[in-house]
Structure 1
Amino acid sequence: MLEYKDFDPGKKAFVFELDNVIYPEKDYLLQVYYLFSNFIEFTEGVPSSAELTSFFKTAYEHHGAVEIFDKAKEAFNIDEKYRLNFDRLHYSAILPLKLLMYKEVLKLMQEIIVDRKQLFLITNGKPEIQLNKIRQLEWNGLEKYLRVFYAEEIKLKPEPDVLTYILKDNNLVRKEVVIIGATQTDEDFAASCGVDYVNVDDFL
C-alpha cells in the first residue's frame, strides 16, 4: 500500500478527483435515495420508504446510478412527475449524515499539507451537485488548503485545459504534479497533461 513518503519529494502539487477518490460516492447517492423514498411515502403513501430505499440500494449496488429512477418508476409505478424531485435532490439534498473521507486519503492529504505542498481538486461532475457534496463533507480542516476547480467550467477531463490553467496560475511545471484518481478518465487526463498518475486504490 502506498503512503505519502513513497512520493518523489520533488512533487509540489497533488490533484484529486472528488467521487470515489476523496470519499465513496455511494455515501451521497444512497442518502439522496433515502430522502426521495421518504418524500414519496409522505406524498403518495406507497411504497413505504423502507421498501423503496431497499430497492434503490440493491439496484445501485448491482447496476450503478444510471437510469435508476426509471427502474424504480417501473417497479413501483411512480408517477413521472416525480422525476423532477428526484433530480433536484441530487443538487440540493441536505443529508442526514455528513460525508466522511476515506481515512487513508485524509491521512495522505494531512501529510501533504504538513509538508507544505499544494492540494487541488478537479472534478468532472456537475458543478452544482459537486458543490453540494463538498459542503457536506467532513474535511477535518483541510478545506482551508484545498483549491477546487470544476472542469466543466473550463473543459471536461480528459482534456488538459484545466490543469494547464492551474500550472500557469501557480508557477508549476508538469514534473512537479501528480494526479490521484479512480477512473480511466482520470488516467487519460494525466496522460494528456503529461503528468504522473496514481490510482487511489493503491492507498486504500
Structure 2
Amino acid sequence: MSELTFQNLPQQKEVYAFEIDDVLYEKKDYILQIYYLFANFVEFTESRPLAQGLLEFMKSTYESSGEEAVIDKTIAKFNLASSYKENFERLYSNAQLPLKLILIDSTKKLLKELISLNKKICILTKGNPVTQLNKLKHLDWEGLDRNVKVYFVDELAFRNIDAFNYIAQDYQVLPIEVEWIKTKMI
C-alpha cells in the first residue's frame, strides 16, 4: 500500500470516512493512559506500591510483544488475581482519561482542508463501539467535529448492511463517492 498524502487522496469524493486508531490520533496515547490508570488501580486495590513497576512492565511488554499480550503477561508476572483481567477490559472500554487525545497533525490539516472544500466527514470504525466512542469522547477535535456522524463496521456487518451503501444513503450520494481513510496521513 502506498503512503497516503493529501495529494494522492481522491479529491472527487463527497464523503470522507476516517478510522479512529492511528488515523485520527496515535493509538499508543490511549493505551499508555489505560496502563497508567490500571497500574494505579491495582496499587490502590492491593495496598502495596506496584504502580510504577506495573506501568513500566506493561509499556515494555506492549513495545516488545504487542497489545494483546500485555494483560495476561502482567497478571502472571505480578501474581495478580485473574479477576484483574475483567477490570482491565472494563477500564479499556470506559476509562476517564487523565489527558485528552490529540489529533495527528497531518489528519488535522486534512480535516481542515476537507471542511474548507465543503466535503462531508464521518467516522467509520472497526472494533467495540463502546471503546471507540470512548476514544472519540476524549479526542481534542479543536472544533473540527461539527456534524460528524459515527458508523461502526462490525455493527453494520452484523445487520448485513454494507457500510458504504449505508453511509452513501445517509449522505445522499453514490457509494463510489465515499472514501475510507484507514491509514495515517503523512
Q: Same fold (TM over 0.5)?
A: yes
- Alignment coverage as a number of residue pairs: 183
Shift of 1:176: 2.2
Residue from 37, 40, 43 that aligns with 1:38? 40
Contact 2:75 2:84 in 1 (8 A): no
- Deviations along 1:24-78, whole A, 9 cap, x unmatched? 1111111111101001111113452111001110111112111321100111101
Shift of 1:168: 1.9
Structure showing greater relative contact order (alpha-carbon pairs closer than 8 Å, 6 or more residues apart): 2
Q: 1:27 and 2:25 equivalent? A: no
- Deviations along 1:89-145, whole A, 9 cap, x unmatched? 012111111000101101101110111001111111101111111100001111213
Aligned residues: percent identity? 38
Contact 1:113 1:145 in 2 (8 A): no
1:58-137 matches, within 5 Å, as: 58-137=60-139
* Equivalent residue number for residue 167 of structure 2: 166
Contact 1:123 1:151 in 2 (8 A): yes
Gaps of at least 5 residues in structure 1 are 183-199
1:172-183 matches, within 5 Å, as: 172-182=173-183
- After TM superposition, the structure 1 stretch with the greater mean CA deviation from structure 2, 62-71 or 2-11, is 2-11
Report the CA distance shift for 1:66/1:115 in structure 2 as closer, same or farther (over 3 A): same
Q: Distance in 2 between matches of 1:84 and 1:47?
A: 21
Shift of 1:163: 1.4
SS at match of 2:76: helix
Contact 1:4 1:111 in 2 (8 A): no
Report the CA distance shift for 1:8/1:162 in structure 2 as closer, same or farther (over 3 A): closer
4+ residue runs over 6 A deviation: none
Report the CA distance shift for 1:16/1:54 in structure 2 as closer, same or farther (over 3 A): same
Q: Distance in 2 between matches of 1:65 and 1:83?
A: 13
Q: Distance in 2 between matches of 1:15 and 1:142?
A: 14
TM-score using structure 2 length:
0.90
SS at match of 1:144: coil
Gaps of at least 5 residues in structure 2 are none
